[in-house]
Each structure stands twice: as C-alpha cells, then as structure tokens.
Amino acid sequence: MDNDANGVTPVVMLDIASWRPRVDAAEVERHAHALEAGSVLVLPRLAFELAPDETRFLDVRWSDGKAKNISLEGDAIKGARGTPDELAALARMVTRFAADATALVSALFPRYSPHLTRARTSYRPHGAAGRAVSWRKDDTRLHVDAFPSRPNRGERILRVFCNLNPDGEDRVWRVGEPFEPMARALLPRVRPMLPGEATLLAALRVTKAPRSEYDHLMLGLHDAAKSDVGYQRECAQREIRFAPGTTWICYSDQVMHAAASGQFMLEQTTHLPLSALYEPARSPLAVLERITGRKLVV
C-alpha cells in the first residue's frame, strides 16, 4: 500500500504462519521500524486454531451480557457465563492465545522480549458495531487508546488481534492519520490539567495511580477525536479488512483506529517501557513532548 503524506505505510504485510517464527535480523529491523512508525503489521496466514470442543465458544451466549468483552487478567476470566467446567475450558482457550500472542511479539521483536508486561487478554464475542453506550466508549470512532483509570506514564500499548469469525466475516477497521498530525490538530482543544487534579483523582480512586500530564493529554486526544463528528468524517483515513484467520499487531496508543464491523476476535494487550523501543523518538510521549516543548512525565 502507498505511503501517505507523512511517510507512514498504514499496512505492512508479513508472510508469517507461525506463532513462534524465526526471523532474521534484517527483517526484525524492518518490522520494528514499521511498527514503531505507526504501521499495522498484518499476518494474513497466522490463524489461531481452535480445538474441536472450543468452536462452541464462537457464540455470544458465553457473554454475561453486562461486560463488553470477556477478559482474562491473571488467571481470572471475567464477563463470561457458563458452568465452572465450561468457564475453565474458555479460560484455557484465551490463555493459549495469550501465550501465543506474547511468544509472537518476542519472536518478532527480540529487543522487546525481556521488557514485555502481559496485560489483559480479551475475547470479543459481540459484534464490533452497535454496542456503544456513549460516544466515549464508541470504538467505531477513530481514536488512540488511553485508559482512564490506569495511567501509564508513557509506557507503550502494543496489541495483537486475531479474527476468529467462523462465517467468513472480516473484521473491518478504519485507520486514520499518523499520530503527529492528529496530535497537532487536536491538542489545542485539550484543556490543561488542573493543579492538584492528578492527586485528587488518585485519592478518589478514579485512577489507580496519579495521572501524568502525558496521560491527561492522551485521554484528551482520545476524547477530542471521538467527540468530533466532523473530524471523524473528514480526517484522512482508510479502511482495512482483516479476513478470518488473520492476525494483526499495532501500537494502539499511536495508530488512530476504529472498529467498523466484525464479530469474534481475540486481543492481547502488552505494555513495554520506552527504553525497550528501537526508536523511542517516534513514541507518542516523545512526539507530545516535542509539540508542547516540555516534560510530560516527571
């Protein structure tokens, strides 16, 4: 696919069909450069195989109907309903994906490997569209990921996704403009963090730790993009279709993304510190510090 105006290739295809591939050093450099520049790495031949008794989980009835996703944090499966045996089998499937996705990231990017923190794994049995209760939670609108209750102080959010759809349905994303022009366009609308705000939110347990100014600005960008219908319609964007059996990887704190449609997907979130990156100067923290001219994490 063509470069866009800012020199970021939105999609880079990887001809890899193993969760534990051997990758030579030149390929590692090429993939890392693309990923950290804000490309989505797409592996159309890397499916997550379900065991015969796991195909039953491709059904919304396993959702508890309250949570948006079924998720695994540590050993606990949340947002699902079923008998203890069924929930244990579902947890085994999601755990296997967590191990595969983490192994894939380590194999593709050996420099990351010792620094990776595995966070939540989610299984998304609901359709991507039509569940949003508010514009802020509406992931069919373009956004960068930022977590309101979990400040990350510039740590990266790297996500691995896999489309499991059994009926041939693609997961369809829209991907927006690169991080820097998005931030330059939307930052003027983000209100400054108030003195004492971070301490107060942490004391009230709205956040699990005090927000840095970086976290405040990232949430502000998330909200500014999602709340602006004109921006959603008019900003530079393109559609990407992920067929069933496709895995894809991106920095979701950097890539403007929106899930337009699709059903049945697994997703693994990992965090890594800036010091693990091949090119830290391309991170959202470095870009925002360049734009604002000040340190955003102290």
Whole-angstrom distance, CA of residue 202 vs CA of residue 191: 19
By three-state DSSP, how is residue 163 classified?
strand
* Residue of the chain from 145, 215, 223, 267 that contacts Fe ion (CB under 5 A): 145
How near is the Cβ of 176 to Fe ion at its closest, in Å? 12
Tell me the closest approach of the beta carbon of residue 259 to ligand SIN, in angstroms.
Answer: 3
Selection from ligand SIN, Fe ion, none that 128 binds (CB < 5 to 8 A by kind) is ligand SIN
> Rounded distance, CA 27 to CA 208, Å?
38
Token reading at 232: 């959603």
- Asked whether position 296 contacts ligand SIN by CB under 6 A, the answer is no
With beta carbons less than 8 A apart as the criterion, state whether 149 and 207 touch.
Answer: yes
Supply the minimum distance, in Å, between the C-beta of residue 27 and ligand SIN. 26
Binding of residue 162 to ligand SIN (CB under 6 A): no
| Residue 180, binding choice from ligand SIN, Fe ion, none, Cβ under 5 to 8 Å by partner class | none
Contact of residue 235 among Fe ion, ligand SIN, none (CB under 5-8 Å per partner type): none
Burial class (CB in 10 A: 0-12, 13-18, 19+), 3: exposed
Query: Which of 164/193 has CB closer to ligand SIN?
Result: 164
- DSSP summary character for residue 40: E
Min dist. Cβ of residue 110 to Fe ion (A)? 27
Spatial separation of the C-alpha atoms in residues 73 and 95, rounded to whole Å: 10
Site for ligand SIN in 244-273 (CB under 6 A): 252, 257, 259, 265
Helices (H), 178-228: 179-186, 197-203, 213-227
Binding residues for ligand SIN, rule: CB under 6 A, are: 124, 128, 139, 171, 252, 257, 259, 265
